[in-house]
Structure 1
Amino acid sequence: MKKTVISLVVALSLTACAGSSSQQTNTQEAAPAYKNTELDMQTRVKDLVSRMTINEKISQMYNDTPAIPRLDVPAYDYWNEALHGVARAGNATVFPQAIGMAAMWDKDLMLDIATAISDEGRAKHHFFADNDVRYRYTGLTYWSPNINIFRDPRWGRGQETYGEDPFLTGELGVQFIHGLQGDDAKYLKSAATAKHFAVHNGPEISRHSDNYVVSDKDLYETYLPAFEKAVVDGDVEAVMCAYNRVNGMPACGSDMLLKEILRGKYQFDGHVMSDCGAIADFYDPDAHNVVKAPAAAAAWAVTSGTDLNCGTGRLSTFASLNFALEKGLISEELIDQAVERLFMTRFKLGMFDDAAAVPYSDIPMSVVGSEQHLALAQKASEQALVLLKNDGLLPLKKGVKVAVIGPNANNVDVLLGNYNGLPIKAVTPLEGIQQYLGKENVTYAPGSPIIEDIYGHGQVLDEKVLFHKTGDGGLAPGLVGKYYAVERSPVTDFTRLSFEGIINGDPKVTRIDKALDFYFEKSPVDDSVLGDFAVVWQGTLVPETSGQYRFSDDADVSIDGKTIDSAVQLEAGKSYAIKVSKIFADDRISNTSSIMRQQFTLQWVNESENLLQNALDTARSADVLLVMAGISPRIEGEEMPVKLDGFNYGDRTDIDLPEVQKELLKALHSTGKPVVLVNFSGSAMALNWSDKNLNAIVQAFYPGEATGTALARILWGEANPSGRLPVTFYKNIEGFADFDDYAMENRTYRYFGGDVLYPFGYGLSYSDFNYSSLALPKTLTSGDELTVSVDVTNTSGRAGDEVTQLYLRMPDAPVRVPNVALKGFSRTTLQAGETRTVSITIPADELTYIDNSGEKQPYKGRLEVSVGEGQPQYADTQSVQKGVITLQ
C-alpha cells in the first residue's frame, strides 16, 4: 500500500512537471513574434503591424505618435534635429554651423563631429526615456543633414548646407550620416535624414506655393547628386521631401522624385517624411492648392511614397487617411507599407529590444559637453575660419594693444547659427581675446547695431542693476523669484490652438535670483524633468546709465506697474519697481516642452548710446582694431518674420553689409590704425570696400561655441588658418536671375561667368605651399577610375594644413558642362619645409557628364585636370599643377 502511494505521488509529480513544462512551452509559443529577438527585423515588424487596428496604424504615421499600450508600443516623436550638435534639447556641444563645417574641407573631422553628436544624442535620448519624457527633440531620428545646394547667396537657410558644390556636399554628407548612424552591423546609433528632397533652396517667403521648373540636366547635374550619394554610399535611413512643387508636382507627392528616382534608381528602402506642414500645402488655398480636401492630399502623399506626416500647428493631414480609405482613395496595403517602413527604423534603433543588447544604450550623460567634445569643437572652429585677406598684419604679435569693436563681438547668436543646442561653454570673440591677452589689455565697444534696431550687444539683467528689499528696508542684489504650479485652461480660441497656462495657488518655491538667465532641466516646483511651472520675479531696477532702454521679448515686463512693450526712458541711479513674469507650459499641440528648447534670458540694450563715437574713443588707445561685424541668424534663416533693408523673411535682397556697419568700418579706417575684419554670416557677403581698404579679413560663418578661443588662436598664430570657402563670394548680385529661377545658368562657380571677389575653394594660410611632380596617365579607358598624385611642399617656416583640390574640365563634351568641377580633395598637415605626395582617386562614375535628358554618359575626349590650392583660373602658378588626359 505504501509503495502504491509513493508511486502515485511520483506519478502526480511527473504529471505536474510535464504540465508545467507544457505551460512554459505554450507561453513561449504565445509570445508575439515581434518580441522574439531571434527573428529577423522584417519579420518582427510585419508581425507587429499586422496586430494593429487601422486606427492604430494611421496614428503611427504622424511625427508625434501615441502609445499603443496593449502592444507595448511607447509614444514616440520622430522630430529631432542634429544639424551641428544635438539641437533644441537643452545643453549640448555646439559645433560650427553646417556651412562652417563645410569650410573645414575635412571628411575625417566631419565623421568625428557626427560621432560626437550621436554620442550626445544617445545619452540624451535614454535620459529622457528613463524619465518618461517623449516630447519632440527627445528621440533618435534626426532630421539632418541638409544637403540642398546653396545655389544663390540670397537664401537665408544656406547656412544649414555644405555649400554650392554637389561633390563637396555629397562627400561631407556621407561622412556626417556615417557618424550619426554608427557602424554596428545590426543596430543604428541614430537615424539620419537627408533633406529636403528635392530642388529646394529658397525663397523662404513663397516656398509653400512655389513651383520650381528644372531641366532634366540641371536636376541630375546639380540638385540630385548629393542625395544619390547619401542613399547609395551613406545608406541614409530617412529622407525628407520638400515643401515646393517640382515641375508641377508637390515634392511630397511626386512619383518622379519618390518612386522613380528615390526608390527606383537609388533603391532607397528607408522611410520618407514630409517637411512640416507640407501635406497641408497640397490643399491650402494660399499654398499649392492642388486638391480640395485633406483626405485627397493624404492619399496622394502616401501613394507617392511619403510615409510620415510632420504636421506642426497645422495638425496632421494623415489623420484623414481613415476617410480616404473609406472612400477608396487608398488601400490598407499602402498604409501597412508606410507603417512597416517607420517601425523598421524604430526596430533598427533598438527600441523594441533589451537595452543590454543594443551597443549604444549605455552611453552616459557625462559625454554631453565632455572635455573631448569641447576640444573637438575648438578644432572644428579653428579649421572653419577662412582667412580671406592678409597684408602681413596677421598673425598679431603678443604685445600689441587691441580694441575689439563691433556688434558681433560679444554676441552669442553668431556662435550658434540656427537649429542649435544650448552651448556648454560659449566663448564669444571678445571673451576669447580677453582670455588670451588678459582682460586689462583689451578695450571694447559694440560700435553699432547689426541693423536698425537689431542689436548684438544686449546685456543680461543681473545683480548689478537688480535688487530686492531686505527686512531693514535696504536693498540687496537680485530679485525675489516666486515659482508656481501651472494648470491648463481649455482651448477657447480655435484660431490659436494652444492650451494657456494659468498660475495655480500659492508659490511652491521662493528664492533670490541674481540674474535672469536660466536653463531649467527640471521644474523648480516639483523637480520633474521638463515639468511645467510659472515664475514671477519682483524687486527694484536701478540703471547705472541713463537712456532709452529696449527689453528682449522673452517675458512680460512691467516697470512701476506699467507693461513695457517698447523702449522706455530710465534714469541712472533711480529706483524702479520691476516685475517680470513668465509661464513655462508645454505645448500639447506641437508636443514640445517649453523649457528644453532654449535658455530663458531677459536682456536689455541702451538705444541712446552714441555707439559710433564710443567705438572711436575706444580705438584711440589701441594699436590694432579687431572689428567683429556681419549679420546674424536672427535676420537670416528659415521663414523669418523679418522685413528690413536687404532682408526679406529670412532671405537676403542684397549681399552687402548693413549700412550702419559700413559706416562703422569707414570711420575706424579713417583713424589710420590697422583694421582686421572678422565677418560673421551664414552666407556670402560682398565685402568689396573692406577688401580694398582693410588690412586683413577673416570669414567666420557661425563657428560654434569655441569661437572666441579659436579666433584668438588664429589671430595670434597659435593656430594656422586652413579653412576654404564652400561658396563663391560675389562682388554683387547684379545680373543674377530671379531668386525663384532654378536654372543653373550663371550660378555657382561651376556656371558663373563673371568676376568674383573670393572664389569657391579659396582661403589663405600663414604658410606657403608649392605643387610639383603631377603624375597622371596620358590616356585612360572610359569606365576606369583615375588616380592622380602630386607633391606638395611647405616652403615656409611654419607648419600648416593644405587643402588640395582636384578639378576637372571636359572641353569635348557634346553638351554644356560645368566650367570646372571639383572631383576630389584632401587635407594634409605639412611641417615647415616638408614635402608629401598626395594621391587622389576619382571613381569612374565621376568621369561622366549629364546629357540633356538627365542621363549620365561616359566622357570621351580631352580631360583637363587641375590639382592645387584652388580652382585653376585663380591659383598661383606655383600652387597648381595642370595636365591633360585622353579618355577613350
Structure 2
Amino acid sequence: MTLEEKARQLGHTAPAIPRLGIPQYNWWNEGLHGVARAGIATVFPQAIGMAASWDAPLLQRVGDTVATEFRAKFVERRLPDGGSEFYRGLTVWSPNINIFRDPRWGRGQETYGEDPYLTGRLGIAYIGGLQGSDPKFLKTVATSKHFAVHSGPESNRHREDVHPTPHDLEDTYLPAFRATVTEAKVESIMCVYNAVDGVPGCANSRLMEDYLRKSWGFKGYVVSDCGAAANIYRPDSLHYTRTAVEGVALGFRAGMDLICGDYRNNMTTEPENIVAAVKAGLLPEAVVDHALRRLLEARVRLGLFDPQLPFAHITAKDYDTPEHHALSRQMAEASMVLLKNEGDLLPIKGDPRTIAVIGPNADSFDALVGNYYGTPSKPVTVLDGIRARYPKSEILYVQGTGLIGPAELPVPDAALCVDADCATPGLRAEFFKGTNLEGAPIETSVQPNARFEWRGDRETSARWTGTLVAPESGEFGFRFASENGYRVWVGDKLVVDEWGVGDAPSILSGTIMLEKGRKYPLRVEGFQRGQRSSQQLVWSTPGSGGDQAVAAAKRADLVLFVGGLSARIEGEEMKVKAPGFAGGDRTSLDLPAPQQQLLERLDATGKPVVLVLMNGSALSVNWADAHIPAIVEAWYPGGEGGHAVAGLLAGDFSPAGRLPVTFYKSADQLPPFPDYRMAGRTYRYFTGEPLYPFGHGLSYTRFRYTAPKLSSAQVSANGSVEMSVDVTNSGARDGDEVVQLYVTHPGVDGAPIRALQRFERVHLKRGETRRVGFTLDSRALSVVGVDGARRVSPGRVDLWIGGGQPATRTGLPVAAGAAARLDIVGSAILPK
C-alpha cells in the first residue's frame, strides 16, 4: 500500500483498495444490548438491567444471540466487494465496563454497575458470547470501553482531566478491564475522551502500553472513542498538542490503532494528518504499519477475506426471531428487582376487576429501549403486557404526567389545516435528501399531521407547514417526538430548538401562550439518520394535569404507577431543561417532581398502589418506600419488557434480580460528582445508610443458609480456599436465589468495607437444598494499598455468603446467609 492508502485504512470508514482485493469496511457498530442502529433487531434489556440478573451464563447466551444478529445484518446488506456499510459490520463497540461510581452519571445505564468484580465477570460473559468459541474465526469482535477512567460528568467529558489515586486506579477502575483482556481475550479496546493524570486517554502510553500491552498481554487493536483523537489537539477540548498533526502522531505512538470520527469534527478520521505526521518525521511509518497489521488481522479472523464466509449457517433472516424474542423476555424477567413488598401485595391475587395503569412510562417505547438500541418489531410496553396478561380485567390507562413536565399527547389532526382559512385539513409536507433541508424537495404532499414512520436507512430531513387552531386558551408545550433533531415554530416564535448533531435527542420542549380559536402559522422541521422508529408532533395542553389519573385510580381495584426516567433525560450529552438534570446527567436522585406529586395523589385515594420504576440509574424514592406497599425496579427492559413486568406482578415467576448499584437516600450522601476518588462511594466505601443496598432484591419465596464450611481455616498468601454452604428453598414456591460471597479485611488500610468476590444464580425447587461452593484465590483475598500495589497480607479475613450483604438498613428485610472466618499466613505482591 502507499502511505496514503495506509492512512485511510486507520479510520472507521476504511475505503476499498480493489487492486489488493481489500473491500471497504465501516468499523462502527453498536451492540450494547442488541444490534443497534441497523433497523429491526431483537432488543434485550439495557446493560444495567442485564447486570441486575447476576446471571453470567444467561448474559453469554445473550451475547451469542446478538452476535448471530450482527452476522445476519452483515449478510443482509453485504456490499458487492464483500465489505460493509455503517452499522452493518462485525466489529462491535461493546460492552461498556466503566464503573458506575456515581448514580448521577447519565451513561451509567450502559454499564454493569458499581462493582469491579461483578462488572468483570459479566463483561467476560458478554464478550464470550459476542466473540464465540470457534478456534479459527471470531463471530464478532467485542470492544471493552471506555479505557480506563471514565464516568462523567457528560458536560465536560471532552475537557476533563481526572486524577484517580493509585489505590483507586488499581482497586476500582482497572480490574474489569484487566479481566476482559486476560480472561475473555477481548479483541478490541476503546480509549476515552478525557485525560487521565494530565494525558489524553487516546495518547496515554501508560494506559495503552504499560498496562494494556505489557502487563496484560493485550494483542488486539485500540480504537478511539468517536472524536477522542481530535480531543488530543482541539482548542475547545484537551488541547494537549498545538496541532492536529502532532496530536494524531502522539496518539498512534502511544498505542492507538484506529480513529473514529464524530459529528463535532465532521466525522474526520484524520488520514491527511497521519500522512503529514509521517512526512514530518513525527510518526514512524513502522508504527502505522503495526496499527494496520492489527486491524487487518481482526478482519482476517472475522473471515472477511475468506472465499466462504464462516458461520455460513447464519442467514440474512436470522434476526428478530421468535427464539430471540423468548431469550429477550427471559433476560427481562431475570433482571426484575422487587425492592419492596409490604403485606405481600404482590403477586396480584386473582384477576382484579379494574386495573388503573398510570404514568409516563406505562406506554412508552423510550422506557423499553434505553440508549444505543435497535428497533424491536413488536415492542411490548407495560400497558401492552398488562392488557395481555389480564384480558378479563378492565384496564384504565391515563398518562397523567410526563417524565419531567405535563403529560404530552399527539397533536390531534383536527387542530391542523394547510392554509390560513382552514379550508383543507392537514399540513404541507416536504422531504429532502440529507439532514439539512437543503436543495429541492425530493417529495411533497399534504399529510394529516406532522407524522412520519421512518423507512429505509438513508439520511432525510422534513418540513411541515400549515396552521394550528388553538382549542383553548393557556400555555401549551410543543415537542417533535423524534430520534434525531427537531425545531418547532408557532406563530413567529421558535418554541423549541433541539436540532443538534448527535444521535439521541432529549425530550426538550418549549412553551407558548395561545388563545382559544385563534389560528397560528405552524412550522415543524426534523431530520433522521438510520433506521429508527416514528416521529410525531406532541403537545401538552393547559388541562394536562393529573385529575383524570386520580379519577381512574378511584374507579380501580389496583393502581399501577409506571414512572422513573428514560434515555431522553439521562444519557449522553443532551439538552434537558428541568430541575434535577444537567447535560444528560442528574443533579438530584429524586423521582422528578411531576411524577412525585401525582404518585402522592394516587396514594391518597386509598387504593393499593404498585410503583414500577423504569430507569437506568438509582432513584431516591424515599417517600415511596415509606408509603407505597410494593415497588418494582424494571430498568429499561427491552422489547419484551411489558410481558416481563406483567409476569412479575402476576406471580408467573418469582423475582430474583439483585441491585448492581446502591440506591442512596439522596445525592447529598455522595462526594461531589467530578471527584474520582472512591472514598464515600459505592457499597465498598460508603459508610452511610442506603435506601436499598447493592445486592438487594426480594423474592416470592424464602431461602435458608446452613452448614457453612471452609476447606481450611488457614490459607497461604499464594494458596486458595473453598467456602461452601447449603442453600435451601424453604418457601412455598420454586425460585432463583443469587448467592453472594463477600470478603472483609478488618482494620486493613485501603481495604473496602466489604467486597463481592464470587456469586452464582441458582434455581431451587420448593424444599430443595443444594450445596453451593466457591474457591477464593490470592487475587480474591488481596487488598490494594495506598501506593497502588496489590498485596496478600497475613491476618484475619471475614467471609459472608448469602442472598445479599450482611448489613442492611433499618426496616429492610435482612438477607439470609452464613459467616466464616479465615486466616491468611504469609504475604505476596500480585502483578498489576
Tell me the TM-score normalised to structure 1 length.
Answer: 0.84
Query: Which residue does the alignment assign to 1:887?
Result: 824
Q: Which amino acid aligns with 2:169?
A: L
Mapping 1:426-825, distance limit 5 Å: 426-438=379-391, 441-452=394-405, 458-459=409-410, 501-503=438-440, 516-521=451-456, 530-531=457-458, 548=476, 550-552=478-480, 554=482, 594-596=529-531, 598-776=532-710, 777-811=712-746, 813=748, 815-825=749-759
Deviates more, 1:359-368 or 1:136-145: 359-368
Deviations 1:801-844 (A, max 9, x none): 0000011112264x320111101111111111111111222333
- Number of residue pairs the alignment of both structures matches: 796
Q: How far, CA to CA, are the matches of 2:750 and 2:172 in structure 1?
A: 13
Query: CA, structure 1 residues 200+558, in 2 after alignment: closer, same or farther (shift >3 Å)?
Result: closer
Q: How far, CA to CA, are the matches of 1:461 and 1:709 in structure 2?
A: 30
Q: CA deviation at 1:535?
A: 6.6
Query: Which residue does the alignment assign to 2:216?
Result: 266
Q: How far, CA to CA, are the matches of 2:393 and 2:717 in structure 1?
A: 65
Deviations 1:656-684 (A, max 9, x none): 11122221121111112211111122111
Query: Which residue does the alignment assign to 1:837?
Result: 771
Q: Is the 8 A contact 2:437 2:462 kept in 1?
A: no
Deviates more, 1:190-199 or 1:866-875: 866-875
Query: CA, structure 1 residues 543+601, in 2 after alignment: closer, same or farther (shift >3 Å)?
Result: farther
Q: How far, CA to CA, are the matches of 1:220 and 1:549 in structure 2?
A: 49
Name the SS of the counterpart of 1:790 in structure 2.
Answer: strand
Query: CA, structure 1 residues 504+517, in 2 after alignment: closer, same or farther (shift >3 Å)?
Result: closer
Q: CA deviation at 1:149?
A: 0.3
Query: Which residue does the alignment assign to 1:284?
Result: 234
Q: CA deviation at 1:575?
A: 11
Q: CA deviation at 1:713?
A: 0.6
Query: Which residue does the alignment assign to 1:324?
Result: 277
Query: CA, structure 1 residues 440+197, in 2 after alignment: closer, same or farther (shift >3 Å)?
Result: same
Q: How far, CA to CA, are the matches of 2:318 and 2:93 in structure 1?
A: 22
Query: CA, structure 1 residues 364+631, in 2 after alignment: closer, same or farther (shift >3 Å)?
Result: same
Q: CA deviation at 1:544?
A: 9.5
Name the SS of the counterpart of 1:185 in structure 2.
Answer: coil
Q: Is the 8 A contact 2:417 2:423 kept in 1?
A: no
Q: Which amino acid aligns with 2:237?
A: A
Query: Which residue does the alignment assign to 1:223?
Result: 173
Deviations 1:569-620 (A, max 9, x none): 8999999998877666xxxxxxxxx342x22321413322242111111111
Q: How far, CA to CA, are the matches of 1:712 and 1:639 in structure 2?
A: 33
Q: How far, CA to CA, are the matches of 1:246 and 1:148 in structure 2?
A: 14
Q: Is the 8 A contact 1:145 1:195 kept in 2?
A: yes
Query: Which residue does the alignment assign to 1:123?
Result: 72
Q: CA deviation at 1:419?
A: 0.7
Name the SS of the counterpart of 1:664 in structure 2.
Answer: helix
Residue 238 (structure 1) aligned with residue 213 (structure 2) = no
Q: Is the 8 A contact 2:418 2:428 kept in 1?
A: no
Q: Is the 8 A contact 1:550 1:607 kept in 2?
A: no
Query: Which residue does the alignment assign to 1:855?
Result: 789
Name the SS of the counterpart of 2:228 in structure 1.
Answer: coil
Q: CA deviation at 1:131?
A: 6.8
Deviations 1:120-145 (A, max 9, x none): 11100121214778432121111100
Query: Which residue does the alignment assign to 2:299?
Result: 346
Name the SS of the counterpart of 2:556 in structure 1.
Answer: coil
Q: Is the 8 A contact 1:428 1:707 kept in 2?
A: yes
Residue 366 (structure 1) aligned with residue 300 (structure 2) = no
Name the SS of the counterpart of 2:574 in structure 1.
Answer: coil
Q: Which amino acid aligns with 2:765?
A: Q
Q: How far, CA to CA, are the matches of 1:105 and 1:297 in structure 2?
A: 41
Deviates more, 1:796-805 or 1:207-216: 207-216
Q: How far, CA to CA, are the matches of 2:55 and 2:714 in structure 1?
A: 30
Q: CA deviation at 1:405?
A: 1.1
Q: CA deviation at 1:252?
A: 1.1
Q: How far, CA to CA, are the matches of 2:603 and 2:375 in structure 1?
A: 36
Q: Is the 8 A contact 1:154 1:653 kept in 2?
A: yes
Name the SS of the counterpart of 2:572 in structure 1.
Answer: coil
Q: How far, CA to CA, are the matches of 2:566 and 2:740 in structure 1?
A: 30
Residue 402 (structure 1) aligned with residue 351 (structure 2) = no
Q: Which amino acid aligns with 2:788?
A: G
Query: Which residue does the alignment assign to 2:19?
Result: 70
Q: CA deviation at 1:862?
A: 1.6
Deviations 1:95-126 (A, max 9, x none): 11110000000011101111111111110012
Query: CA, structure 1 residues 512+208, in 2 after alignment: closer, same or farther (shift >3 Å)?
Result: closer
Q: Is the 8 A contact 2:656 2:736 kept in 1?
A: yes
Query: CA, structure 1 residues 571+403, in 2 after alignment: closer, same or farther (shift >3 Å)?
Result: farther
Q: Which amino acid aligns with 2:310?
A: P
Name the SS of the counterpart of 1:259 in structure 2.
Answer: helix
- Out of 68, 81, 103, which is 2:52 matched to? 103
Q: How far, CA to CA, are the matches of 2:537 and 2:763 in structure 1?
A: 44
Residue 297 (structure 1) aligned with residue 284 (structure 2) = no
Q: How far, CA to CA, are the matches of 1:426 and 1:829 in structure 2?
A: 29
Query: Which residue does the alignment assign to 1:11?
Result: none
Q: Which amino acid aligns with 2:478?
A: R
Query: CA, structure 1 residues 538+736, in 2 after alignment: closer, same or farther (shift >3 Å)?
Result: closer
Q: How far, CA to CA, are the matches of 1:333 and 1:541 in structure 2?
A: 64
Query: CA, structure 1 residues 655+581, in 2 after alignment: closer, same or farther (shift >3 Å)?
Result: closer
Query: CA, structure 1 residues 222+549, in 2 after alignment: closer, same or farther (shift >3 Å)?
Result: closer
Deviations 1:141-193 (A, max 9, x none): 11100000001111111110000000000000000001111111111111100
Q: How far, CA to CA, are the matches of 1:572 and 1:737 in structure 2?
A: 50
Q: How far, CA to CA, are the matches of 2:481 and 2:450 in structure 1?
A: 16
Q: Which has the larger radius of gyration?
A: 1
Q: CA deviation at 1:281?
A: 1.5
Deviates more, 1:727-736 or 1:82-91: 727-736
Q: CA deviation at 1:545?
A: 9.2
Query: CA, structure 1 residues 573+772, in 2 after alignment: closer, same or farther (shift >3 Å)?
Result: farther
Deviations 1:10-67 (A, max 9, x none): xxxxxxxxxxxxxxxxxxxxxxxxxxxxxxxxxxxxxxxxxx1001111111111222
Query: Which residue does the alignment assign to 2:160?
Result: 210
Q: Is the 8 A contact 2:750 2:783 kept in 1?
A: no
Q: Is the 8 A contact 1:177 1:236 kept in 2?
A: yes
Q: CA deviation at 1:562?
A: 10
Query: CA, structure 1 residues 438+811, in 2 after alignment: closer, same or farther (shift >3 Å)?
Result: same
Name the SS of the counterpart of 2:123 in structure 1.
Answer: helix
RMSD, aligned α-carbons = 3.0
Residue 140 (structure 1) aligned with residue 90 (structure 2) = yes
Deviations 1:250-297 (A, max 9, x none): 111112101100001001010001111112222222221221101110
Name the SS of the counterpart of 2:611 in structure 1.
Answer: strand
Query: Which residue does the alignment assign to 2:502?
Result: none
Deviations 1:411-452 (A, max 9, x none): 111111111111121111111111211386111211222113
Name the SS of the counterpart of 2:101 in structure 1.
Answer: coil
Query: Which residue does the alignment assign to 1:40?
Result: none
Q: CA deviation at 1:541?
A: 8.7
Q: Is the 8 A contact 2:683 2:693 kept in 1?
A: yes
Query: Which residue does the alignment assign to 1:27?
Result: none
Query: CA, structure 1 residues 97+458, in 2 after alignment: closer, same or farther (shift >3 Å)?
Result: farther
- Out of 332, 342, 364, which is 1:411 matched to? 364
